Amino acid sequence: MAKPNLTQAQHDAYWSKTSRLMWTILAIWFAASFVVHAFAIQLNEIVILGFPLGFYMAAQGSLIVFVILCFWNASAQNRIDEEFGVAED
């Protein structure tokens, strides 16, 4: 596979978009992993379908967020790759 010929400006723009996506997803992951669980006691005052919200987020909510983040990351990175002509066949 031949290396795509990107100018330095294109390479910098590509890395900027990829880096921004990575840091955004990392921030959402951190919030779903740690911030939500740090407030579990306060969230337990909110009840959804008979379950405290803190319990729900620990048991299911965070996992759902992680799966959505995986699909979003793949989709967004593919769009970035296509924009700069470095997408896989």
Q: What is the pLDDT of residues 22-66, one digit of tens each?
A: 999 999 999 998 888 888 889 899 998 888 988 888 778 889 999
Q: What is the pLDDT of residues 72-81, one digit of tens each?
A: 999 999 999 9
CA 81 to chain centre: 17
Non-local (6+) Cβ contacts of 35 within 8 A are none
Please give the model's pTM, rounded to 2 decimal places: 0.80
The per-residue pLDDT for 64 is 92
User: What is the per-residue DSSP string for 14-63?
Assistant: HHHHHHHHHHHHHHHHHIIIIIHHHTHHHHTTSEETTEEHHHHIIIIIHH
Domain ranges of the chain: 10-83
| 85: nearest Cα among 1, 12, 6, 2 | 6
What are the residues facing 39 on neighbouring strands? none
